[in-house]
Amino acid sequence: MVYRDGLENRYGLTAIGGSNPSPSANAKRRKETLDWYVKLGIWVAAIGAAFAFFWRKGYLLRLSTYVAETREELKKCTWPSADELKGSTVVVMITLALLGAFTVGVDFVVSYMVRFILG
C-alpha cells in the first residue's frame, strides 16, 4: 500500500496532484493524437496541392490583379460623410416604419373583410 501524508493512495494520485492514467488510456490518447496529426497532414497536403494547381494555372495572379484593380476603383469613389450617412439612416428607418404600418393596416382590413364575408 502506498501512503501519502498519512492517507492511503487508492486512486493512483501523483505527488503533484491529478491522476496517473493507465497504459491503455495513454495508448488511446496517443492514437487520438496520431489520428489528429494524420488528418492535419492530409488537409495541409490538400491545401498545398490546390495552391500549387492554382499557382500553375495562373489563377492566383488573376485574383491578385482583380483585388488590386478593385482597390483602385474604390479609391475613386466618393464616400458619404458621417452626417450624410446619419441622414440616410434616418430616412431608411422612417421608410421601414411606414412600410410596416401599411402592411399591418392592409392585413387588418383584409382580415376584417374576410371575417365579415364568412360570417
* pLDDT for residue 94: 98
Q: By the 8 A CB rule, do 42 and 48 touch? A: no
* pLDDT for residue 24: 64
Q: Which three cell numbers stand for residue 35?
A: 489520428
Q: What is the pLDDT along the chain (119 residues), one digit of tens a residue?
A: 455 555 555 555 555 555 555 666 677 788 888 899 999 999 999 999 999 999 899 998 999 999 999 999 999 999 899 999 999 999 999 999 999 999 999 999 999 999 999 98
* pLDDT for residue 23: 61
Q: Write phi, then psi, for 3 (nearest 5 degrees).
A: -115, 140
48: left (phi over 0), alpha (psi -120 to 50) or beta: alpha
| pTM across the whole model | 0.40
For residues 11 and 98, give the distance between their C-alpha atoms in angstroms, rounded to a whole number.
Answer: 70
